[in-house]
Structure 1
Amino acid sequence: MPCDALRNVQGGIPDPLKTHRGDRCSSKNPCSWLLWALAEPLNGQVLMVLNMDNNCSATSFDMELCAEKLKSVGVQVAADRWRRLIQDAVLKPEVRRYMFYNSRAFQIAIAVVFYVSLWTNIYSTVQLCSFGRYWEASVLVTLAAVAVTIVVILVMDRRQRKINMNTDVRLAAVNEIFIKHGLILGITDALDGAHNILQLWFVHFSPERCLQSLSAHITDMQRTRESGLRHSLDQLCVVMEEVVRPDPGREEEASCEESPLLSSGVNLNKEPVTCNELLHLVPEGPPEVMAQQLLVIFSGCYVRLLVTGQLPRAMAGGHMEHSSVPCLCQFIEITTLNTHQSWFMGR
């Protein structure tokens, strides 16, 4: 499990979670693993982890226990509000299926099937040649299949390091509420035997200094590299399917003209006409508003990479005390506002 000791995610910060740990999540107890820092938390400190067995559609996160723990640390948020947002974000059946098909377990299975299929195809092709009868040919086929499979695994690993619209960005609405209380949320998956476990992470993060720094950086880019800023932000977009609503007068006229002379008794339900609309996640506005929107959008991706130890190297002058990883505003500047590199992954 990736939470075992968190692989020193805090970069030297004394982590009370390692010595004050609750019951570990298992397939029989999928929602019981809660971690709480007893001292004053620092930026990047994991406060709580909720677990859920993704193999069983009947399971869910223990929201009642989560609400009690949030109240115990002074986070006063209407429970009905964030419960609904989490339900819409990650607990819908289609989202859970997507997360399963993008889980580590499924990727391992795909890698194994890919290796076997590739080895079989290459070996069958080599057998058609004269040198394919020697044992050296089998060794070369194995090495080639292993090399190509490793490349595929590395590509999938690199893909996992990018922001994912279907999971990370879906948590933006929840993070917009919790970031005001010094919390940001992210979701990961882990293996527990044959079970795929979803983990919802609650991480302490005070956004004030990141908001000021990111606002200043956006202001500077608007003054010196406005086209580069717009190019970077234009990549942060989603395609929304909208139902085309015709004009009521024309619809009534069309329905009269198209009505049959004789009633057939059959009610044909026409599917609604839809069109795709491009929605920019960070529209033009004051630097403070744009910075706030970026912090909210990237919070889920930041937490996911933080707890799995996949964040890039930190730059000097960050807001993560005694840590070797970048703060949230540095992460956004490195991965998004850098015009030479894009980390955004759409559908």
Structure 2
Amino acid sequence: MAHTNQTGGTEKNGSLSSILYCASDLKEGSLQWVKEPLNGQVLMVLSMDNNCSAASFDMEHCAEKLQSLGVQVAAEQWRRLIQDAVLKPEVRRYMFYNSRAFQIAIAVVFYMSLWTNIYSTIQLCSFGRYWEASVLVTLAAVAVTVIVILVIDHRQRKINMNTDVRLAAVNEIFIKHRLILGITDVLDGPHNILQLWFVHFSPERCLQSLSAHITDLQRTREPALRHSLDELCVVMEVVVSPDPGTEEGASREESPLLSSGMNLNKEPVTCNELLHLVPEGPPEAMAQQLLVIFSGCYVRLLVTGRLPQAVAAGHLEQSNVPCLCQFIQSSVLNAHRSWFVAR
């Protein structure tokens, strides 16, 4: 059942200087903002149970809160985009298989399978009959399992083409109203809870800084810039339409005298095409596209505390994490600058 976080709830994330929640149990008219939201400040969180196929985000409540924030966007437009982005059954299945709950289950199964295989193997040796062998097997299995978990966690810090990029269409609309969205999952007992985060973000300064950086790269390192942007692509399945003239000629000359019923239900021929997410264009247009594409990934890392600490001040007020343009320059455009420190 869809719900939102209650007022006063504190997110376990030291990178957020202050958090402002919209709550579903507030009475009408009781929601008042005491100050202007800061960049990177959470304004609203919608939650739903991903284990229940009938569950969905509370769109009516979301529309009311967006209206209270002064966001004048046609509800039918962003509702459809959110539905297409994260509420389709195939997307929800993908998010479940990449959730924390499923990763924990996979880690347990992997550990037990690895321990059994190693222990069975060393039993063939003479030293395998001593109790020290069991200790060594346990330590080896734990070490390998931890390495696998760390590798998975490292991959979670990168952009996810199947979830983060799917929110780009929604963020393209909301970023004009100083909002960006991201989706995360949390484990609540046996339930996998999906959370849709609404974060305040003013793109003007990041857009200006990123445009200037792209202009500098186009002048000094054009091949490196193009190589970095070429890696941002998705595979699209398109229907191959036969040439009308060829199809008409074939229907007249090569069509069988007795039509087969199997041809009536013939599926269309499709092929895969590579779609570049950031095509060539003016630096400002490319910067705008990068901000929209990486906003979902940025919000996911921001609210889960996975962003590195920033040494140089960015465009997030009262925060020690990088702003969106710094994050893009470091992770996408390979800007080797001493902005971040390891945690």
On whether the aligned pair clears a TM of 0.5, the verdict is yes
2:211 to 215, 228, 236: 215
In structure 2, give the amino acid aligned to 1:117: S
- Decide whether the 8 Å contact of 1:16 with 1:38 is kept in 2: no
- Decide whether the 8 Å contact of 1:211 with 1:329 is kept in 2: yes
2:245 to 246, 249, 254: 249
Distance 1:232 1:196, change over 3 A: same
> Are 1:82 and 2:88 counterparts?
no
In structure 2, give the amino acid aligned to 1:303: V
Deviation at residue 115 of structure 1 after TM alignment: 0.2
Q: Find the counterpart in structure 2 of residue 175 from structure 1.
A: 171
Q: Which residues of 2 match residues 288-303 of structure 1 at below 5 A?
A: 288-303=284-299
Q: Find the counterpart in structure 2 of residue 8 from structure 1.
A: 14
Q: Distance in 2 between matches of 1:339 and 1:241?
A: 33
In structure 1, give the amino acid aligned to 2:207: L
- Decide whether the 8 Å contact of 2:183 with 2:300 is kept in 1: yes
What whole-Å deviation, never above 9, does each CA across 1:189-229 have from its counterpart, x for those lacking one?
A: 00111000000000000000000000000000001111111
The 3-state SS of whatever aligns with 1:162 is coil
Deviation at residue 254 of structure 1 after TM alignment: 2.2
Structure 1 gap ranges (5+): 24-34, 342-347
Deviation at residue 265 of structure 1 after TM alignment: 5.4
Aligned CA RMSD, in angstroms, stands at: 2.0
> Are 1:309 and 2:305 counterparts?
yes
Structure showing greater relative contact order (alpha-carbon pairs closer than 8 Å, 6 or more residues apart): 1
Q: Find the counterpart in structure 2 of residue 57 from structure 1.
A: 53
What whole-Å deviation, never above 9, does each CA across 1:84-128 have from its counterpart, x for those lacking one?
A: 000000000000000000000000000000000000000000001
Q: Find the counterpart in structure 1 of residue 340 from structure 2.
A: none
- Decide whether the 8 Å contact of 1:232 with 1:339 is kept in 2: no
Structure 2 gap ranges (5+): 26-30, 338-343
Q: Find the counterpart in structure 2 of residue 29 from structure 1.
A: none
Q: Distance in 2 between matches of 1:215 and 1:175?
A: 19
> Are 1:156 and 2:152 counterparts?
yes
The 3-state SS of whatever aligns with 1:260 is coil
In structure 1, give the amino acid aligned to 2:45: V
Deviation at residue 283 of structure 1 after TM alignment: 0.3
- Decide whether the 8 Å contact of 1:231 with 1:339 is kept in 2: no
Deviation at residue 253 of structure 1 after TM alignment: 2.0
Q: Distance in 1 between matches of 2:267 and 2:279?
A: 32
> Are 1:127 and 2:133 counterparts?
no
2:136 to 133, 136, 140: 140
Distance 1:111 1:340, change over 3 A: farther
Q: Distance in 2 between matches of 1:306 and 1:36?
A: 25
- Decide whether the 8 Å contact of 1:168 with 1:301 is kept in 2: yes
Q: Find the counterpart in structure 1 of residue 99 from structure 2.
A: 103
Which stretch of the first structure deviates more once superposed, 134-143 or 251-260?
251-260
Deviation at residue 269 of structure 1 after TM alignment: 2.4
The 3-state SS of whatever aligns with 1:188 is strand
- Decide whether the 8 Å contact of 1:36 with 1:46 is kept in 2: no
The 3-state SS of whatever aligns with 2:309 is coil
> Are 1:46 and 2:42 counterparts?
yes
- Decide whether the 8 Å contact of 2:99 with 2:192 is kept in 1: yes
The 3-state SS of whatever aligns with 2:12 is helix
Q: Which residues of 2 match residues 250-265 of structure 1 at below 5 A?
A: 250-263=246-259
Distance 1:264 1:185, change over 3 A: closer
Q: Find the counterpart in structure 2 of residue 320 from structure 1.
A: 316
In structure 2, give the amino acid aligned to 1:6: K
- Decide whether the 8 Å contact of 2:211 with 2:283 is kept in 1: yes
Q: Distance in 2 between matches of 1:335 and 1:324?
A: 17
- Decide whether the 8 Å contact of 2:10 with 2:19 is kept in 1: no
Q: Distance in 1 between matches of 2:282 and 2:50?
A: 41
> Are 1:72 and 2:62 counterparts?
no
Q: Distance in 2 between matches of 1:36 and 1:168?
A: 31
Which stretch of the first structure deviates more once superposed, 267-276 or 195-204?
267-276
- Decide whether the 8 Å contact of 2:175 with 2:203 is kept in 1: yes
The 3-state SS of whatever aligns with 2:48 is strand
Report the count of equivalent residues. 325
- Decide whether the 8 Å contact of 2:20 with 2:44 is kept in 1: no
- Decide whether the 8 Å contact of 1:86 with 1:174 is kept in 2: yes
2:191 to 195, 198, 201: 195
> Are 1:336 and 2:332 counterparts?
yes
Q: Percent of counterpart pairs with the same letter?
A: 81
Distance 1:101 1:266, change over 3 A: closer
The 3-state SS of whatever aligns with 2:247 is helix
